[in-house]
Chains A and B, each alone.
Chain A
C-alpha cells in the first residue's frame, strides 16, 4: 500500500513538475486574430494578414489635448522630434514636414520616370510653348518664387505635380505648423511602428516610449495624451484580459474555497479539494502551450471556468464518503457515473477542438486535458491523501431537507413543461436571427475606446480602410502593372463621383514597362534642344536658362529603371511596402479607397482589369462574413458534439428511456437559457454557443447522478447534497465571470451560470428515480 502510494504521489509530482517547466516557457498572447480563422478564402487571407501585420495594424494615432493651442503645438513638435530618434518607428508624422527632404530629393531626381504626364506629345514645340507661357504667368503670380527655383530644370512642372499628388487630398487642419483637429482642441500625430500590430510586446514597448517621450515633451505644460490604433487595442486588451482572468480566477477561487471550508470545516480537505482543479489547470495550459506554441489570454481566463467543473469531482467524492467506507470504496461506487460525466464533457469540448477558430480550439484542448487530469487526480491521488474514515457532516446536516425538496420537485413538471414550451415558442416566433454576425461585438475593446479611435481617425484623415481593391499576381512586375491599370480604372471612378480618392503602389514605384515607356516618350537630346529653341522664340527667358532641363532629360532617358531598392531610406518606401506585399507564392497590390459612394460602379470599372486576381474587398463585410462562417461551423461542431454525447449515453446506459431522462433536463436548460438571454436583449455570439455547450457538459453530470440507482436513503441524500455543492461551485466560478467586461468571458459566464442552475433544478424536477427504502 505504502509503496503504491509513493508511486502515485511520485508520478503526480513528476507530472506537475513537467507541466510547470512547459508553462514557464510559454508565450502568452492576446492577438485578436486568434479569433480569426485559419483557412479562409484568398481575399480573407489577405484581410487577416493585414489585420495581423499590415501597415494598418502598425498605425498608432496620437492626440494631445487639454492646453492652449500654441502649447499643444510645441508639445507635438518636441514629441515628434524625440520619437523620430527612435528605431521602433518607421514613420512619425505631425504635419511639420508632410514630405521629407529625402522623399523630395527622390521625387526630384526621378521625376521623369515617376510622372504619369510624361507622354510622347508633351515635348513637341507647341506643348513646350504652352508650358513656357504658363510658367511666365506663374512667375508673376503667388507661386512665382517656387516656380523660379525649379524652372530651369523642370519647365514642364513634373516635380510639382508629383509633390501635390503625394501630399494627398485629405490632410488634417494645421495650426502653428502642426496637425490639429478641426475644432483646434487637439494636436495630432501619427506613428507607424516597424513591428507588426500583432507583435504585442513590441507594441507595448512602442506605447511605453510614446508615453515617456510625451511626459518629457510636455514638461510642466498642462496637456494630456490620447493614443489609439490596432496595436494599442491589442496591448490594452491583453492587459484587460490578463487582469480579468487573474482577478476573476482569484475571486472565484476564494469564493469556492470559502464554500468548501464552510461545508467541510477542514483546511486540509479544502486544500485537497482544490488539488484536482489546480493540477488540471496546469496541465491544460501546458497542453495548449505544446499544441499551439502559445497560450491565448482568453484561454487562461477560461481556467476559471474549469474550476467550475473540476472542483465538482472532489465534491462528489468528499460529500458521498461515509465514515464506514474508505475513500477508494466510495470512488469505486461513483466512478462509473463520474467517468461517464467526464466522457460526456469531453465529447462536448471536442467540438471546440475541431474549430478553425484558434482561440476556441485552444479552449477545447485546455478543457479536455484539464478535465482528464482533474478526474485522474481525483481518482488516484485524493484517496491516497484523504484521512481514513473521512466523512463530512455537511451531507448529514443538509441531506434530509435537500432530499425532501428534491422529492417534491417533480410536482413542478407541468409548470416546467409550460416554461420550456413558452421559451421554445418565443424563440421560434421571435423571427430574425438569434445570432449577431457583427465581429465588433466580440471585440474586447470598450465602446469608448472605439469612439476615440474613430474621432482621431477622422481628425487625421486616415483612411477608414473599409474598402480595398486587391490584385494578386505571380510576379512583382505583374502586380505593379495590375495596379497601374487599376489606378486608371479608379481615376475614371473618381471622375464619375463614385469615390473621393485612392492610393496605389504604382504611384511610388511604376512598373518597369511603364518606366521604359516614359523613357521612350522623352525626345532625343537634339530634338528636344531644337523644339525648345523654337518654343522659346519671343519669350523673355534668359538665354541658356533651360540647359539643366536638357541635361536632366538626357540623363533620365538613360538611367536604369527604378526598383524597390531605389526607394530605400525614403518615407515612400514604407508607403510602398504597405501597399505592395510579398506573400508566400505571390505579390499582392492593395489600393485603399477613400470616400466610396458607389461600390457597384467601382466594381464594374475594376472588373475590366484583366491582370492578376482582382477584387474589391469590403473589409467590414468580409470580416463579418468570416465570422458568420465561423459561427455556422461552430454550430455544426456543437451539434456533432451533442450527437456524440447521445451516442455515448446510449452506449453506456443502454436504454432509450434513461438516455431521454438524462438529456431532457439539459435540453430544457439550453432552451430556457437561450430564451432568457435573447429576451434580455443579448445578441448571441459564438461564445454564448460555447457556453451552451458547457451547460450540456456540466449539466450532464447532474442528470447522470440523479439517474443513478441508489442503494440507500443515505446514499441518495449524499448524492443530492453533493450535486447541490457542485452546482454552487459551478455557479460561483461562472457567475463571477459574468461581471467581466471582456465580451468572451462575460458571454460564457452568464450563459453557464444561468444554465448550471437550471440544469440542476430541471434534473431534480424531471427525475423519475423513486427513492429507495
Chain B
C-alpha cells in the first residue's frame, strides 16, 4: 500500500536510463602513459575513444523474483554523445541516446524523451556518457566521484549528489581496464541490484 503514491514518472524513466547507461566504452589502441595515474588521466584516455561496439549481458537481482532476470544484446558508442543499446533477448527493445534526447522503441512503439524534462534521468545518462566521453566536469556536477584500483583494473564510484536521485540509486560502480569499460553495477536504495558486463564485439 505504501508504494505507488510517491512515484513520479521520471523516477521510473530514470531506471530506463540506468539500462541505457550500461554501455561500454570499448577498444582503442591508444594508451596514455602518464607519470602518475588518477581520475584525470583515466578520463583523458577514455575521451580519446571515438567509437566502440560491444556485447552485453545484464543481470537484474530483484527481491520479488526467485531468479535473476537476464538480458543480452549489443551496445554501440559514437563520440561524443551517441549511445545505442539494443536488447535482443528475452525480447527486442532499443534505446538510443543522442545529444539531449532519448528514444525508446519496443514492439513497433516509439517514444522520445527530452532529458531536460527529467532531471533524474539526465543524471543517469551523464554517469555513463560523461564517463565514456571523459568529461569529468559534467560528472562532478551530478556525482561525487571516487576512483579505486590501478590503470589495469580500476573502479569508478559515483554517488549521486541530488536528493531526488539519491532516493532512487545509492551508487553506480563502473569498472574497467585502461580505456575499456567492462562492468556497470547499479545499487538501488531498496536493495535491488543490476550488473552488466560488456565484452568486445568480435564482429
Contacts and interface: CB of A to CB of B under 8 A. Distances in A.
Interface of A: 97, 101, 104-105, 108, 136-137, 139-154, 159, 163, 167, 173-177, 540-542, 545, 548
B4 A101 contact: no
Contact of A542 (B58, B66, B69, B87): B66
A151 B4 CA distance: 9
Contacts of B1: 108, 153, 548
A548 B19 CA distance: 29
Interface in B32-68: 58, 60, 62-67
Interface in B99-120: 104, 106, 114, 116-119
A146 B64 contact: no
A142 B87 CA distance: 11
B116 A174 contact: yes
Given A104-B4, A173-B114, A175-B117, A142 B95 contact: yes
B3 A139 contact: no
A140 B11 contact: no
A541 B66 contact: yes
B142 to A, nearest CB: 14
25 contacts: A97-B8, A101-B6, A104-B4, A105-B5, A137-B90, A139-B65, A140-B71, A141-B106, A142-B17, A142-B19, A142-B20, A143-B13, A143-B16, A148-B192, A149-B4, A149-B7, A163-B9, A173-B114, A174-B118, A175-B116, A540-B65, A540-B66, A540-B67, A541-B65, A548-B1
B64 A541 contact: yes
Contacts of A150: 3-4, 7
B76 interface: no
A545 B118 CA distance: 31
Interface residues of B, number: 42
Contact of A140 (B12, B69, B114): B69
A137 B60 CA distance: 12
Contacts of A141: 16, 19, 93, 106
A104 B69 CA distance: 29
B116 A542 contact: no
Contact of A159 (B4, B69, B116): B4
Contacts of A541: 64-66
B90 A167 contact: no
Nearest to A177: B119
B15 interface: yes
Contacts of A136: 69
A401 B116 CA distance: 81
Contacts of B64: 139, 148, 151-152, 541-542, 545
Given A108-B1, A142-B13, A144-B62, 13 more contacts: A137-B91, A140-B60, A140-B87, A141-B106, A153-B3, A159-B4, A174-B114, A174-B116, A174-B118, A175-B117, A542-B66, A545-B64, A548-B1
Contacts of A140: 58, 60, 69, 71, 87, 90-91
Most B Cβ at <10 Å: residue of A145, A163, A173: A145
B168 interface: yes
Nearest to B3: A149
A144 B119 contact: no
A176 B64 CA distance: 34
B125 interface: no
Interface in B166-203: 168, 188, 192
A175 B119 CA distance: 9
A146 B11 contact: yes
Given A174-B117, A175-B117, A139 B4 contact: no
A409 to B, nearest CB: 76
B132 interface: no
A21 B114 CA distance: 64
B5 A108 contact: yes
